[in-house]
Amino acid sequence: MKAPPLSYVRAATLSEAFQLWRDAGPDARLLAGGQSLLATLAFRLSDPGTLVDIVRLHELRGISQVGGTTIRVGALATHAELGRHDLIRRHLPLIAEAVPLIAHAAVRNRGTIGGSLAFADPAAELPACCVALDAMIVARNAADERRIPAAQFFTGLYATALRPYELIAAVEFPIAKPGERTAVLELARRSGDYAMAGVAAKTRLAGATLIEPQLVFFGVGDRPVVAERAMATISGQQALPATIAAAQAALAADLDPPADRHGSGRTKRHFARVLLARALARLAGLDEARAA
């Protein structure tokens, strides 16, 4: 289908963007990469009236290191930029690993991290990665800036903590610490499709012991789901078969996936258990040991 009739305005500066947005009213939508928004328009799932194009705002661009501990990623960084940027590859390997899982090359060339987080698709990779990495979402309105922990940013199905006339300016990630290991895995029907289920995982290793492990699932709820009980089960343990089995059992209380076109809730629980075992093998380096 074709998109519904629209008005389109393009902002040259951030302050102009807020003015245009305010003029257009609360139903207007910001257009960044447009890779989800234009698809929803084609389905006529939304009818925003006006699109405010922010994709040229240099204030929302750039990937840089802030001090010794933080990587700041401008909201308009495309998936392709994330995938090839040296700071990301060096300091945020989880993000670099997630990029090839996001759609396809032509979409990654346009789609942005800010757009992905603001759209808040529960099956998307980057929201779960941001939660797993304890990222901060930098939100801006015409007057102010505030930081929202990623774990509190996603409030429901396609819903976020952003307020009216507030946008994502950047995402701030703590740089991976020495000894930190990460993995992101998903199951999808076709390479590049939205995941039927996925997991973003992080831990530190002391010898073979998992310290402060993080397991954040996607595609199994209305937002990224932190598997608290499974995490508690493996914390301070080694990724031995009995521990992995106990964590898989604990997932039953962490996840309550709704049925969707990919399968029943039961099927999705099974996917999640399989992914958990694979992720723990990766975190503990067991797959490398086997390959060696």
The contact set with other proteins (CB under 8 A) reads: 1-10, 23-24, 31, 34-35, 38-39, 41-43, 50-51, 53, 55, 80, 100, 103-107, 109-110, 190-192
Give alpha helix (H) positions in 175-264: 228-234, 241-254
The one-character DSSP state at 11 is -
Which CB, 219 or 221, lies closer to other proteins?
219
Helix (H) / strand (E) containing 188: none
Amino acid at 150: A
Smallest separation (angstroms) from other proteins to the CB of 147? 30
Query: Smallest gap, in angstroms, from Cβ of residue 216 to other proteins?
Result: 25
Q: How far is the CB of 192 from other proteins (least distance, A)?
A: 5
CA–CA separation, 248 vs 277, rounded Å? 7
Instruction: Report whether 79 contacts 108 (CB < 8 A).
Output: yes
Question: For residues 124 and 70, is the Cβ–Cβ distance under 8 A?
Answer: no
**Closer by beta carbon to other proteins, 123 or else 176:** 123
Nearer to other proteins among residue 113 and residue 276 (C-beta)? 113
Among residues 177 and 190, whose Cβ is nearest to other proteins? Answer: 190
C-beta of 4: minimal distance to other proteins in Å?
7
Nearer to other proteins, 47 or 256 (CB): 47
For residue 15, the minimal CB distance to other proteins (Å) is 18
- Give the burial string for 131-144 (b: 16+ CB within 10 Å, else e): bbbebbbbbbbeee
Beta carbons within 10 angstroms of residue 104's beta carbon: 12
Please state the closest distance from residue 32 (CB atom) to other proteins, in A: 10
Shortest reach from residue 18's CB to other proteins, in Å: 16
Judged by beta carbon, residue 31 or residue 168, the one nearer other proteins is: 31
Bridge partners of 202, per DSSP, are 182, 214
Choose between 38 and 226: whose C-beta lies nearer to other proteins. Answer: 38
Chain-centre distance of CA 29, in angstroms? 20
Minimum gap (Å) between residue 46 Cβ and other proteins: 12
Environment class of residue 5 by beta-carbon count within 10 Å: exposed (0-12), middle (13-18) or buried (19+)? exposed
R_g of the chain, CA atoms, integer Å: 19
SS3 263: strand
Are 273 and 215 contacting, i.e. CB atoms less than 8 angstroms apart?
no
CA distances from 94 to 39, 79, 129, 154, 183 (A): 27, 13, 7, 19, 6
CB atoms within 10 A of CB 67: 7
